[in-house]
Chain A
Amino acid sequence: MGRTLAEKVWDDHVVRRAEGEPDLLFIDLHLLHEVTSPQAFDGLRMNGRTVRRTDLTIATEDHNTPTLDIDKPIADPVSRTQLETLRKNCAEFGVRLHPLGDVEQGVVHVVGPQLGLTQPGTTVVCGDSHTSTHGAFGALAFGIGTSQVEHVLATQTLPMAPFRTMAVTVDGELPDGVTAKDLILAVIARIGTGGGQGYVIEYRGSAIEKLSMEARMTVCNMSIEAGARAGMIAPDQTTFDYLQGRVHAPKGEDWEAAVAYWKTLRTDEDAAFDHEVVIDASALTPFVTWGTNPGQGAPLSASVPDPASFADPSDRLAAENALTYMGLTAGQPLREVAVDTVFVGSCTNGRIEDLRAAASVVQGRKVADGVRMLVVPGSVRVALQAVEEGLDKVFTEAGAEWRHAGCSMCLGMNPDQLAPGERSASTSNRNFEGRQGKGGRTHLVSPQVAAATAVVGRLASPADLSDVPAPAEV
């Protein structure tokens, strides 16, 4: 019997397999940031332990970092302490760090791939649930807790419970204006926030193969919102082309050897998945969330659902709670929902292609009166590239705010937050209650929908802008 991609990568990392024990897996790459690592380093110190493989460990600052005035001391003393703690820990234990102000700083899941550190067939972990992003390269990438961070620092391994396999096959052609974000939101709405629990998802099919690496990262990034342990896409020429020439990609003979191995990382024809989901790409449309978990989504053309339409009592109660929190009424067309804030950024949609897509929509147009649009690049490198292409000017001329790289309003650990009752269209990954600020209301959308929403002032797609003509030239 053949093996799936996930099983192949797993098997290649088993350090120890013993009856009645979880497999002990070797970890190829450990990414750190300031929020989930301090207690792990404390644990090492208390037990007189060291970091086993500093050469497989890298840290950056992202969750807490401000996106304005980054040359000044951080105003919030607690945030400042957390960043200083990471700097001290990295210095003490010999871990490479890209702090605020460094050219390689950025959201940890943007930094790893752009450096070429995220590679096919590797195991990647980080104390952050969106580590699933790295699965876009055919890596087995898990979000972990702080105790596991300490475990990896000390041993470069993790005991891992067995997983089940799920195939999400997306065939057909994505219609114009329908993006990887719409695709994954539709997948989550289909299988539910717990539907992936215990599974590693492999996304496959012709629509997935046609996606760019950045779009694949958007898809894998949100696997966790379906409850999955990881999401993966088999590496192919698109993957190899993205990696070749990056700073930490293999070179020369190493490159040849690596590619030869990477080409073996495909699910065998006779392999069986524990569960399969099939999606027709051509039937997808721009998708938005109306509720307070990422599974509560609907096509933009739809209306806010009636909680009474949910058969499951706990789904019905969740929908009732969500509508109350979100200040929405059943039957209200989603296109009539007005927003205060638009956020473009995050590990889901903060890469250069996302910024290009958003810029192409606002180019020559203006952000609607009363709407604040924040554009936060995923990393300093993404910001530099955007500036080189003039995208920053496109955004600022439209009336948007161009900010410094970081996680920013995705989770509002820095000053970028929604005020109570404020509503956002956000390219991030979570619409939980209070996620973007206490009492804030979040609608998850693609960069294109975010940008069109900023122009119209209500949830909208670029197709809705035909009656808002762009000025002749800019």
Chain B
Amino acid sequence: MEAFTTHTGRAVPLRRSNVDTDQIIPAHWLKKVTRNGFEDGLFEAWRKDASFVLNAPERKGATVLVAGPDFGTGSSREHAVWALQNYGFKTVISSRFADIFRGNSLKNGLLTVVLPQETVEQLWKLVEADPAAEITVDLVAREVRAEGVTAPFELDDNARWRLLEGLDDISLTLGNEADIAAYEAHRPSWKPSTVQL
């Protein structure tokens, strides 16, 4: 996984709540069997509308997505995270994320930052008024900074450490293989098995 320490970039204000993962990447893109090449599918339906914020020339190259509440609801498709990353986003700010999306993001090094809705509003106003305005997401200090905004955010120490170091969860777990083997040794015999009968 790519490590995340601190990132500064221009932002896209997405004034929508309940942005579900079907909007982030429609289902027909899910037939691909790779983790890349999803950038053209990102918000595909909305991008057909010339006035959609992502189409504005001044948003080109923006790396911070500032979204409305309940971002990433619905389907568990990790393709939504890959699409955001393939497009160039490094971090997403919202007042509330769906659990599975948030988990998927952290596994891929896309930092999801939870800020109060008032702060999200402040950031929207700032970057709408000045598309060149930059937002800094500092994971070391657990702080978001922009002109007139300094907002602390929470992320548990363990998740933060894994992101800062860019650690691979599977390797970490396999480091505790003995615990898994010990658990398996005591599992009751009547637990379900998929071995064909």
Tell me the A residues contacting B by CB distance below 8 Å. Answer: 15-16, 20-22, 24, 26, 28-29, 35-36, 38-39, 42-43, 47, 49, 52, 54-58, 63-64, 76, 78-79, 81-82, 85, 96, 116-119, 122, 127-129, 143-148, 150-151, 154-157, 159, 161, 193-194, 197-198, 224-225, 227, 229, 247-248, 250, 254-255, 257-258, 261, 292-293, 295, 314-315, 317-318, 321, 411-413, 430, 432-435, 438-439
In angstroms, Cα B194 to Cα A29, docked, is 8
Interchain nearest-CB distance for A445 vs B (Å):
19
Which residues of B lie under 8 Å from residue A434 when comparing CB positions?
Answer: 22-23, 26, 45
Chain A residue nearest in CB terms to B196 = A96
**In-complex Cβ contact of A117 among B70, B77, B100, B194 (8 A):** B194
Q: List the 5 closest A-B pairs by CB distance, nearest first.
A: A145-B104, A254-B190, A38-B33, A145-B78, A147-B107
Interchain nearest-CB distance for A403 vs B (Å):
18
Which residues of B lie under 8 Å from residue A318 when comparing CB positions?
Answer: 16-18
Interchain nearest-CB distance for B167 vs A (Å):
11
CB pair A20–B158 under 8 Å, yes or no, is yes
11 pairs across A/B with beta carbons < 8 Å? A15-B180, A15-B182, A56-B193, A145-B107, A151-B170, A155-B170, A194-B69, A229-B99, A257-B190, A317-B16, A430-B74
Of A116, A128, A144, A147, which is in contact with the most chain B CB atoms at under 10 Å from its CB?
A: A147
CB pair B45–A55 under 8 Å, yes or no, is no
Which residues of B lie under 8 Å from residue A42 when comparing CB positions?
Answer: 33-35
Chain B residue nearest in CB terms to A142 = B100
Chain A residue nearest in CB terms to B31 = A78
CB pair A28–B192 under 8 Å, yes or no, is yes
In angstroms, Cα B174 to Cα A306, docked, is 54
In angstroms, Cα B184 to Cα A433, docked, is 44
Which residues of A lie under 8 Å from residue B81 when comparing CB positions?
Answer: 145
B73 within 8 A of A: yes
Chain B residue nearest in CB terms to A255 = B190
CB pair A248–B197 under 8 Å, yes or no, is yes
CB pair A116–B173 under 8 Å, yes or no, is no
**Interface residues as binary, B160-197 with A (CB distance below 8 Å gives 1, 0 otherwise):** 00000000011011101101101110011111111111
Supposing A144-B76, A194-B96, A227-B99 touch, asked if A78 and B32 sit within 8 A by C-beta, the answer is yes
In angstroms, Cα B104 to Cα A293, docked, is 21
CB pair B169–A151 under 8 Å, yes or no, is yes
Chain B residue nearest in CB terms to A54 = B194
Interchain nearest-CB distance for B8 vs A (Å):
27
CB pair B190–A39 under 8 Å, yes or no, is no
Of B16, B75, B104, which is in contact with the most chain A CB atoms at under 10 Å from its CB?
A: B75
CB pair B17–A315 under 8 Å, yes or no, is yes
Which residues of A lie under 8 Å from residue B96 when comparing CB positions?
Answer: 194, 197
In angstroms, Cα B170 to Cα A49, docked, is 10
Which residues of B lie under 8 Å from residue A63 when comparing CB positions?
Answer: 27, 30
Within 59-75 of B, Cβ neighbours of A (below 8 Å) are at 68-70, 73-75
CB pair B33–A157 under 8 Å, yes or no, is no
Which residues of A lie under 8 Å from residue B32 when comparing CB positions?
Answer: 78
B131 within 8 A of A: no
B108 within 8 A of A: yes
Which residues of B lie under 8 Å from residue A295 when comparing CB positions?
Answer: 18
Interchain nearest-CB distance for B44 vs A (Å):
9
CB pair A146–B68 under 8 Å, yes or no, is no
CB pair B73–A227 under 8 Å, yes or no, is yes
B115 within 8 A of A: no
Supposing A85-B33, A143-B100 touch, asked if A47 and B170 sit within 8 A by C-beta, the answer is yes
Supposing A39-B33, A145-B103, A433-B23 touch, asked if A194 and B70 sit within 8 A by C-beta, the answer is yes
Within 99-136 of B, Cβ neighbours of A (below 8 Å) are at 99-100, 103-104, 107-108, 117
Supposing A29-B192, A157-B173, A258-B190 touch, asked if A247 and B30 sit within 8 A by C-beta, the answer is no
CB pair B180–A127 under 8 Å, yes or no, is no
CB pair A129–B192 under 8 Å, yes or no, is no
**In-complex Cβ contact of B30 among A21, A35, A255 (8 A):** A35
Which residues of A lie under 8 Å from residue B190 when comparing CB positions?
Answer: 250, 254-255, 257-258
Which residues of A lie under 8 Å from residue B177 when comparing CB positions?
Answer: 155
Chain B residue nearest in CB terms to A257 = B190
CB pair B33–A248 under 8 Å, yes or no, is no
CB pair B31–A15 under 8 Å, yes or no, is no
In angstroms, Cα B193 to Cα A21, docked, is 29
Which residues of B lie under 8 Å from residue A55 when comparing CB positions?
Answer: 193-195
Of A54, A56, A261, A439, which is in contact with the most chain B CB atoms at under 10 Å from its CB?
A: A56
Interchain nearest-CB distance for B53 vs A (Å):
14
Which residues of B lie under 8 Å from residue A438 when comparing CB positions?
Answer: 26, 45
Which residues of A lie under 8 Å from residue B193 when comparing CB positions?
Answer: 55-56, 248
Chain B residue nearest in CB terms to A162 = B156
In angstroms, Cα B104 to Cα A127, docked, is 11
Interchain nearest-CB distance for A115 vs B (Å):
8
In angstroms, Cα B70 to Cα A295, docked, is 12
CB pair A314–B17 under 8 Å, yes or no, is yes
CB pair B107–A413 under 8 Å, yes or no, is no
Chain A residue nearest in CB terms to B28 = A413
**In-complex Cβ contact of A154 among B20, B33, B170 (8 A):** B170
Which residues of B lie under 8 Å from residue A22 when comparing CB positions?
Answer: 158
CB pair A81–B183 under 8 Å, yes or no, is no
CB pair B69–A58 under 8 Å, yes or no, is no
B15 within 8 A of A: yes
B98 within 8 A of A: yes
In angstroms, Cα B197 to Cα A35, docked, is 27
Which residues of A lie under 8 Å from residue B173 when comparing CB positions?
Answer: 24, 151, 154-155, 157, 159
Which residues of A lie under 8 Å from residue B30 when comparing CB positions?
Answer: 35-36, 63, 413
Which residues of A lie under 8 Å from residue B191 when comparing CB positions?
Answer: 28, 119, 122
Of A28, A43, A119, A314, which is in contact with the most chain B CB atoms at under 10 Å from its CB?
A: A314
Chain A residue nearest in CB terms to B99 = A229
Q: A54-B194, A118-B192 are in contact. List 16 more A-B contacts (CB 8 A).
A: A24-B173, A28-B192, A29-B194, A58-B194, A146-B104, A147-B108, A151-B169, A159-B173, A197-B98, A229-B99, A248-B193, A255-B190, A258-B188, A317-B15, A413-B27, A432-B20
